[in-house]
């Protein structure tokens, strides 16, 4: 269960220095959350390392206490301090939400979160805590572009800010499309208008959310029943494969020597004709003499939605 929890919650983080003298901290990265927030060091939960603003000579409050109901915390103050991410992003003044009152849903394992999500609708002061937005506004970068790149061999990678990595790409082979989904007046990275197939069987999925913080693909219960009956039911009855549950997710795993005959998981963007496929080796991970299907199933997920994490990227 610890393994599957770590796999589902594919925590991406970056190490940086903040304040003067610099405090070296790991910040969680979130590609669905737009803002940057830092948890104030006097909050009740002292189990995790915090940023101590009292010892930083460059820390500033630049706003008043604001109350929130939809960002995962109760109240915060717009604040700033100097931050160094690397040699190219060094000692720049960084604006963030300084969290005063946490909510039960506040992710407090890390001292803070840096968001790379789509800019939200709402009041203008929301914008200033976005890292990509303020780098452009401070003329540190020339555009709002960034690229997430994973290594081929492990879960590490990098974020390339400002550079267009497709500058030298052949125009004959290049295709592009909008990657935004609107849901309840908010925007998310993703794809609408998808036609999806599992081994040539058309599925109802038409909307994909891109979520690198997941180490898996999340599908709905109906597709789970299809996959279970086609690939796993006989092997479960033979005691070679297993179905288990982790909080709201169900998942499948098998003994290492078990053969799973999933052929292809395909998606076509009907707007542009862009097609990509995930095959068996993309969907299976071996760990501790077991093989895990990198697809989990959320009973609350709508039939037309899917969340795509690490296996896609």
Q: Are residues 16 and 152 in the same domain?
A: yes
Q: Residue 193, Cα to own-chain centre: how many angstroms?
A: 21
The residue range of the domain holding 188 is: 180-308
Q: Are residues 50 and 108 in the same domain?
A: yes
Is residue 172 a part of any domain in this protein? no
Q: Are residues 76 and 23 in the same domain?
A: yes
Q: Are residues 235 and 277 in the same domain?
A: yes
Rounded Cα gap, residues 159 and 27, in angstroms: 14
Is residue 170 a part of any domain in this protein? no
Q: Are residues 52 and 85 in the same domain?
A: yes
pLDDT at 44: 62
List, in sequence order, every residue forming a beta bridge with 30; answer none if it has no partner: 115
How far, CA to CA in Å, does 92 sit from each of 30, 139, 158, 181, 279?
A: 21, 11, 20, 32, 44
Average of per-residue pLDDT values in the chain = 88
Do residues 137 and 94 lie in contact, with contact meaning Cβ atoms separated by under 8 Å? no
Q: Are residues 77 and 208 in the same domain?
A: no
Is residue 167 a part of any domain in this protein? no
Q: Are residues 24 and 103 in the same domain?
A: yes
Local structure of residue 40 (DSSP, 8 states): B
If one counts the domains in the chain, the total is: 2
Is residue 283 a part of any domain in this protein? yes
pLDDT at 91: 92
Last residue of a domain, one of 128, 159, 190: 159
Considering Cα of 45, then 51, then 52, then 58, what sign does the dihedral take? negative
pTM of the predicted structure, to 2 decimals: 0.88
Last residue of a domain, one of 127, 159, 191: 159
The secondary structure element, H or E, covering residue 101 is strand 92-102
pLDDT at 147: 92
- pLDDT band of residue 123 (cuts 50, 70, 90) is low
pLDDT at 66: 86
Average pLDDT score over residue span 12-36:
94
Tokens of 170: 């052949």
Write the pLDDT tens digit of every residue in 59-110: 999 988 888 877 788 999 999 999 999 888 899 999 999 999 888 888 888 9
Inform me whether the pLDDT recorded for 32 exceeds 60: yes
Report which of 304, 310, 306, 299 is spatially closest to residue 250, judged by C-alpha positions. 299
For the chain, how far is it from start to end, CA to CA, in angstroms? Answer: 24
Of the given ranges (104-113, 151-160, 233-242, 302-311), which has the lowest mean pLDDT? Answer: 151-160
pLDDT at 122: 63
Inform me whether the pLDDT recorded for 124 exceeds 70: no
Q: Are residues 221 and 123 in the same domain?
A: no
Is residue 288 a part of any domain in this protein? yes
Is residue 2 a part of any domain in this protein? no
Inform me whether the pLDDT recorded for 20 exceeds 60: yes
- pLDDT band of residue 184 (cuts 50, 70, 90) is confident
Average pLDDT score over residue span 287-292:
93
Q: Report the CATH number at residue 210.
A: 2.40.70.10
pLDDT at 78: 92
Average pLDDT score over residue span 33-54:
84
Query: Token match 């930083």: residue?
Result: 56
Report which of 38, 159, 18 is spatially closest to residue 93, judged by C-alpha positions. 18
Tokens of 176: 């592009």
pLDDT at 132: 92
Last residue of a domain, one of 159, 188, 218: 159
Q: Are residues 138 and 230 in the same domain?
A: no
- pLDDT band of residue 254 (cuts 50, 70, 90) is very high
List, in sequence order, every residue forming a beta bridge with 14; answer none if it has no partner: 27
pLDDT at 125: 55
Inform me whether the pLDDT recorded for 209 exceeds 90: yes
Q: Are residues 17 and 152 in the same domain?
A: yes
Rounded Cα gap, residues 244 and 233, in angstroms: 13
Inform me whether the pLDDT recorded for 164 exceeds 80: yes
pLDDT at 249: 93
Report which of 140, 142, 155, 127 is spatially closest to residue 86, judged by C-alpha positions. 140
Inform me whether the pLDDT recorded for 250 exceeds 90: yes
Q: Are residues 31 and 152 in the same domain?
A: yes
Is residue 292 a part of any domain in this protein? yes
Is residue 1 a part of any domain in this protein? no
How far, CA to CA in Å, does 116 sit from each of 109, 148, 227, 285?
A: 19, 10, 33, 27
Count Cβ atoms within 10 A of the Cβ of residue 265 and give its class: 0-12 exposed, 13-18 middle, 19 or more buried.
buried
Q: Are residues 136 and 218 in the same domain?
A: no
Average pLDDT score over residue span 286-302:
93
* Coil, strand or helix at 302: coil
* Helix ranges restricted to H, 69-207: 131-137
Q: What share of the chain is helix, strand, coil (3-state, %, to 5)?
A: 15, 45, 45
């Amino acid at each position: 269960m610890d393994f599957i929890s770590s796999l589902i919650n594919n925590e991406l983080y970056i190490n940086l220095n903040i304040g003067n003298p610099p405090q070296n901290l790991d910040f969680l990265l979130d590609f669905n959350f737009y803002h940057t927030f830092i948890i104030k060091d006097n909050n009740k939960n002292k189990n995790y390392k915090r940023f101590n603003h009292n010892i930083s000579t460059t820390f500033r409050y630049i706003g008043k206490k604001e109350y929130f109901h939809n960002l995962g915390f109760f109240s915060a103050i717009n604040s700033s301090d100097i931050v160094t991410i690397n040699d190219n992003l060094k000692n720049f003044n960084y604006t963030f939400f300084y969290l005063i009152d946490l909510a039960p849903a506040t992710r407090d394992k890390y001292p803070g979160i840096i968001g790379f999500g789509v800019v939200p609708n709402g009041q203008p002061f929301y914008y200033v805590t976005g890292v990509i937005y303020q780098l452009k506004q401070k003329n540190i970068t020339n555009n709002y572009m960034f690229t997430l790149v994973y290594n081929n061999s492990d879960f590490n990678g990098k974020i390339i800010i400002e550079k267009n990595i497709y500058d030298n790409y052949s125009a004959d082979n290049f295709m592009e499309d909008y990657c935004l989904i609107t849901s309840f007046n908010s925007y998310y990275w993703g794809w609408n208008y998808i036609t999806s197939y599992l081994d040539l069987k058309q599925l109802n999925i038409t909307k994909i959310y891109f979520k690198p913080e997941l180490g898996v693909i999340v599908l709905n219960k109906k597709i789970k029943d299809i996959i279970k009956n086609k690939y796993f039911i006989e092997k479960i009855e033979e005691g070679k494969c297993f179905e288990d549950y982790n909080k709201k997710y169900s998942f499948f795993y098998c003994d290492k020597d078990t053969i799973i005959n999933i052929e292809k998981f395909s998606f076509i963007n009907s707007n542009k004709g862009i097609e990509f496929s995930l095959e068996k080796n993309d969907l299976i991970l071996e760990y501790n003499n077991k093989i895990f299907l990198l697809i989990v199933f959320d009973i609350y997920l709508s039939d037309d939605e899917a969340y795509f994490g690490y296996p896609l990227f």
